[in-house]
């Protein structure tokens, strides 16, 4: 295979890696340098995880200003500040437009490619990196990294050997391993003496108790495989999409988080925008041995007293209707349910609130409680929380404080975000800054 050398090698051709390549190559070109930038990507094509982002529509950033954007970053938003201001979300729109991809901003300040095709984002990133002079070598799975006094030595599983002065690790996390995210970067970081903070799935389905059949314990406490069969209760709820509801998360009996918006019952469990929002804290609690439950308020715009009066009026109308004179109580009560709930939700709601009657229905609608048994793991979570300790990375350059010439960017860092374009922007901004810094 022979030995190849480059000034900068980037391991991982995802969002952070491609932006690192573009940033580094642009910097060298601006300085009139013919220095070499090389990306090693283990998959046959770069950007595999980007391709499935937002169900293939790719919500690639959020154009909120930093003071609002930063509220969606965990666990240390200030670490990201320098990267963000170096490449803001607005600047990212301009970057893509200048590389041939039109963009649109939709509800919630979320930005998409105008085509709503994730492949357009990948094509623009590859175009930007290659046109600036970077090379992308695919099907290059790195198996070993070592360092001597002045450079890094990289061996790939096919036997090829590379050397570089600067190394940027952008290998992503553990989520969606079929896209190539298998946690290699954490292993190499540990080998170099870095601390890796506890890893756990985030932006994932949380699974109510009794929603799925009992299954063998997963690889971490609380992990329930997405493929585990739904129970009759799970089947009765799956497919329901709730609009404008309130979701409250309780950990060990204490209110930990409250969110308003849309929620989905899926084959995984509770998902949708607000399900994902509480999942980070919920999963972290379960992994650490705490108990969690959630409460859904199906009628958050109405106080319980007003809802009780309204239901009482509806019940009187149903009872006085001559067509219902000979009907059993349960049949009249079902008519009442059709007036306050979507038809598709009634079977699941009735199954989980067997004692509800017309007098207690208001309370049941505003306090629908689900104990959480576990969560869907890395096989279908959007992002990996935890990662390489930020205390050991220089925020202004993303260089390791322990190993000169070693940089980290993207999901491999202990930096994750809410759903809505924040995670990809974090990867773009950190990748770009790492590339520019390494090229200086």
Both 250 and 340 in a single domain?
A: yes
Instruction: Report how many domains make up the chain.
Output: 2
* Mean pLDDT of the 320-338 span: 92
* Percent of the chain residues topping a pLDDT of 90: 92
Instruction: Check whether residue 188 and residue 214 sit in a common domain.
Output: no
On whether both 155 and 190 belong to a single domain, the answer is yes
Q: Are 312 and 243 in contact (CB under 8 A)?
A: no
Helix, strand, coil tally for the chain in percent (to 5): 40, 25, 35
DSSP codes, 218-233 = -SSTTB--TTSPB-HH
For residues 184 and 1, which has the higher predicted lDDT (pLDDT)?
184
Q: Does position 106 have pLDDT exceeding 70, yes or no?
A: yes
pLDDT at 155 over 60: yes
Same domain, 373 and 417: no
Query: What value does the mean pLDDT take over residues 50-74?
Result: 93
Q: Is the domain of 172 the same as that of 274?
A: no
Do both 9 and 92 map to the same domain? Answer: yes
Report residue 220's pLDDT band, with 50, 70 and 90 as the boundaries. Answer: confident
**What is residue 117's three-state secondary structure?**
coil
Is the pLDDT reported for residue 423 higher than 90? yes
Of the pLDDT bands very low, low, confident and very high (cuts 50, 70, 90), residue 151 is very high
Q: Tokens at residue 303, please?
A: 């106080």
Query: For residue 149, what are the CA distances in angstroms to 114, 312, 403, 409, 434?
Result: 48, 80, 11, 23, 21
What pLDDT digit, counting tens, does each position of 161-216 carry? 999 999 999 999 998 888 878 899 999 999 999 999 999 999 999 999 999 998 76
Identify which has the larger pLDDT, 19 or 57: 19
CATH number for the domain harbouring residue 94: 3.50.50.60
Q: What is the pLDDT of residue 303?
A: 97
- Indicate the average pLDDT of the chain: 95
Look at residues 381, 398, 430 and tell me which one is the last residue of a structural domain.
381
Do 377 and 422 reside in the same domain of the chain?
no
Q: What is the pLDDT of residue 149?
A: 81
The pLDDT value given to residue 326 = 87
Regarding whether 360 and 306 lie in a shared domain, the answer is: yes
pLDDT interval class at 53 (50, 70, 90): confident
Same domain, 19 and 66: yes
Residue 314's SS3 state is helix
pLDDT at residue 54 greater than cutoff 90: no
- Taking the CA atoms of 273, 274, 277 and 283 in sequence, report the sign of the dihedral they define: negative
| Residue 40 confidence class, pLDDT cut points 50, 70, 90 | very high
Same domain, 330 and 356: yes
- Mean pLDDT on 68-74: 97
Which of 336, 366, 381 is the last residue before a domain boundary? Answer: 381
Average pLDDT over residues 262-273: 96
Q: Decide which of 359, 381, 403 is a domain's last residue.
A: 381
Strand 292-297 and strand 383-388: the pairing is unpaired
| 59 and 167, same domain (yes or no) | yes
Q: How far apart are CA 335 and CA 338, in angstroms?
A: 5
Does residue 1 surpass a pLDDT of 60? no
Q: State the average pLDDT over residues 383-399.
A: 97
Do residues 90 and 194 both lie within one domain?
A: yes
Residue-level pLDDT at 154 = 97
From the CB of residue 369, how many other CB atoms can be counted at a distance below 10 Å? Answer: 14
Residue 84's pLDDT band (cuts 50, 70, 90)? very high
pLDDT of 191 reads 96
Mean pLDDT of 294-319: 96
Higher pLDDT, 56 or 228: 228
For residues 80 and 346, what is the distance between their CA atoms, to the nearest angstrom?
A: 45
Cα–Cα dist 222/20, whole Å:
36
User: How far lies 435's CA from each of 18, 81, 95, 164, in Å?
Assistant: 9, 17, 15, 14
What range does the domain containing 160 cover? 3-200+385-439
Q: What is the pLDDT of residue 150?
A: 83
Per-residue pLDDT, 218: 65
């Amino acid at each position: 295979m022979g030995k190849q050398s480059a000034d900068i090698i980037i391991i991982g051709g995802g969002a952070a890696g491609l932006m690192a390549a573009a940033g580094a190559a642009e910097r060298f070109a601006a300085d009139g340098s013919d220095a070499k930038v090389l990306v090693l990507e283990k998959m046959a094509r770069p950007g595999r995880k980007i391709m499935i982002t937002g169900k293939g529509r790719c919500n690639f950033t959020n154009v909120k200003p930093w003071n609002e954007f930063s509220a969606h970053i965990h666990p240390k938003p200030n670490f990201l500040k320098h990267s963000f201001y170096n490449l803001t979300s607005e600047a990212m729109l301009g970057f893509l437009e200048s590389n041939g991809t039109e963009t649109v901003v939709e509800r919630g300040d979320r930005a998409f490619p105008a085509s709503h095709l994730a492949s357009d984002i990948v094509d623009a990133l590859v175009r930007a990196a290659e046109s600036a002079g970077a090379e992308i070598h695919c099907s290059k799975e790195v198996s070993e990294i070592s360092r001597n006094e002045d450079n890094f030595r990289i061996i790939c599983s096919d036997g090829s050997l590379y050397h570089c002065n600067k190394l940027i690790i952008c290998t992503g996390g553990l989520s969606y391993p079929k896209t190539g995210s298998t946690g290699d970067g954490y292993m190499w970081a540990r080998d170099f003496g870095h601390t890796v903070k506890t890893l756990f799935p985030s932006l994932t389905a949380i699974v109510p108790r009794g929603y799925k059949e009992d299954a063998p314990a997963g690889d971490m406490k609380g992990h329930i495989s997405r493929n585990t069969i739904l129970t009759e209760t799970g089947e009765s709820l799956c497919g329901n999409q709730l609009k404008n509801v309130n979701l409250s998360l309780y950990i060990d009996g204490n209110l930990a988080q409250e969110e308003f918006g849309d929620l989905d019952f899926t084959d995984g469990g509770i998902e949708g925008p607000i399900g994902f929002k509480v999942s980070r804290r919920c999963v972290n609690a379960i992994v650490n041995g705490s108990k969690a439950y959630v409460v859904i308020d199906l009628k958050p715009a109405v106080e319980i007293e007003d809802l009780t009066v309204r239901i009482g009026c509806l019940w009187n109308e149903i009872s006085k209707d001559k067509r219902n004179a000979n009907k059993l109580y349960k049949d009249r009560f079902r008519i009442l349910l059709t007036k306050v709930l979507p038809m598709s939700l009634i079977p699941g709601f009735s199954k989980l609130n067997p004692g509800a009657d017309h007098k207690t229905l208001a309370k049941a609608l505003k306090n629908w409680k689900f104990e959480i048994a576990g969560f869907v793991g890395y096989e279908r979570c959007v992002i990996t929380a935890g990662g390489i300790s930020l205390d050991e990375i220089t925020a202004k350059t993303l260089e390791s404080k322990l190993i000169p010439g070693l940089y980290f960017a993207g999901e491999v860092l202990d930096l994750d975000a809410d759903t809505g374009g924040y995670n990809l922007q974090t990867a773009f901004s950190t990748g770009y800054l790492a590339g520019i810094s390494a090229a200086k």
